[in-house]
Amino acid sequence: MSGAGRPSLQLVDARGLSVAVVTATWNAEICDQLHRRAVETAQQCGAQVSEYRVVGALELGVVVQELASAHDAVVALGCVIKGGTPHFDYVCDSVTSALTRIALDTRTPIGNGVLTTLTQEQAVERAGGEGATEDKGAESMVAALHTALQLSAIRAAKD
């Protein structure tokens, strides 16, 4: 994991925005940490947060799609750790494609905080716990809220 080029986490003023957080329960320790950090960050930014859980990463897309029409942004969180079969590749590709398509089709920012790692240790390092090198729950939340604010400004300028 390089993290090269990653900007420092800059909280945004998201008062008045609503954001949904949808988190998989597979790899629960990692996903719970991602969820906790995303919710804490949304609250620090002043956004109204709704929380949802799904079983695994493949279930994220349909719930995120449903929530996108009722929220200013949605954050999808999960953890897929490579095993000994190609299943990892199929899951990662499917989830990324689904979240991207939902964002474009609904014109709603979707924060992709689904970790795709080779090992459990890499997932721990990215989940934002004590001593972690990255905080993907918080980063995904800020990215989604920042994008929602940008879209709001663009749409207001058109009016």
Q: Is 49 annotated as a binding residue?
A: no
CATH number at residue 31: 3.40.50.960
> Is residue 55 over pLDDT 70?
yes
Choice among 4-8, 19-23, 35-39, 119-123 with the minimum mean pLDDT? 4-8
69 inside domain: yes
* pLDDT attached to residue 1: 44
> Is residue 13 over pLDDT 80?
yes
SS (H, E, C) 96-137: HHHHHHHHHHHCCCEEEEEEEECCHHHHHHHECCCCCCCEHH
Q: Is 59 annotated as a binding residue?
A: yes
50 inside domain: yes
Confidence of residue 3 (pLDDT cuts 50, 70, 90): low
For 135-145, write each residue's pLDDT tens digit: 999 999 999 99
* pLDDT attached to residue 2: 53
Q: Is 70 annotated as a binding residue?
A: no
Note down the domain range covering 64. Answer: 24-142
109 inside domain: yes
59 inside domain: yes
Catalytic: 146?
Answer: no
For 62-98, write each residue's pLDDT tens digit: 999 999 999 999 999 999 999 888 889 999 999 999 9
Expressed in angstroms, the distance from the first to the final Cα of the chain is: 43
* pLDDT attached to residue 85: 85
11 inside domain: no
For 111, phi then psi, to 5°, come to -80, 120
* pLDDT attached to residue 158: 87
Average pLDDT value for residue range 127-155? 96
Q: Which of 96, 114, 94, 113 is nearest to 104 (CA)?
A: 96
CA dist., res. 114 & res. 96, Å (int): 8
Q: Is 112 annotated as a binding residue?
A: yes
Q: Is 31 annotated as a binding residue?
A: no
For the chain, how many structural domains are there in total?
A: 1
Average pLDDT value for residue range 8-31? 95
Q: Of 35, 71, 87, 146, which residue is the catalytic one?
A: 87
117 inside domain: yes
